[in-house]
């Protein structure tokens, strides 16, 4: 991690930012009655992914970083579950974006797992 100067240098952080941006675009088309329920929860989960990666990096301890990566991973899988529920409820209009985000989530999970192993 010597060449990494900031959390912004981490590919896992940048991918988390991309996922968050996609979620904010995706939920715009949800039914109005969902704006205060599932939409807000999905946004919080998405925001949690890059935020916890950044916080873990800022702790300057591998042990703390691993802990925050685990939280980010948990938020990632919580978000995936919420996306699948939104799909079941037919809230998602842009199916292509949904599939793209689900692939990004899978990639991000693998990347977080691999990165976390390098910190042990």
**Within a domain: residue 70?**
yes
**Within a domain: residue 36?**
yes
Closest CA to 75 of 107, 99, 46, 39: 46
Closest CA to 69 of 90, 55, 86: 55
Output the pLDDT for position 20: 98
Output the pLDDT for position 79: 98
Asked if the model's pLDDT at residue 1 lies above 70, the reply is no
Domains identified in the chain, total number = 1
Domain residues for the domain of 96 are 7-118
Output the pLDDT for position 2: 60
**Within a domain: residue 1?**
no
CA distance to 61, 108, 116, per residue, from 104 (Å): 27, 6, 18
CATH of the domain at 93: 1.20.1440.60
pTM: predicted TM-score of the whole model, two decimal places:
0.93
**Within a domain: residue 113?**
yes
**Within a domain: residue 75?**
yes
Dihedral sign computed on CA atoms, order 44, 18, 83, 75: negative
């Amino acid at each position: 991690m010597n060449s990494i100067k900031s959390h912004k240098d981490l590919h896992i952080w940048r991918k988390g930012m991309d996922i968050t941006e996609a979620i904010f675009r995706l939920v715009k088309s949800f039914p109005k009655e969902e704006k205060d329920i599932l939409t807000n929860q999905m946004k919080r989960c998405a925001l949690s992914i890059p935020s916890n990666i950044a916080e873990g990096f800022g702790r300057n301890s591998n042990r703390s970083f691993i802990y925050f990566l685990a939280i980010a991973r948990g938020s990632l899988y919580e978000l995936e579950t919420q996306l699948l529920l939104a799909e079941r409820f037919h809230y998602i209009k842009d199916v292509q974006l949904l599939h793209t985000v689900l692939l990004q989530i899978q990639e991000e999970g693998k990347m977080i797992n691999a990165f976390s192993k390098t910190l042990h």
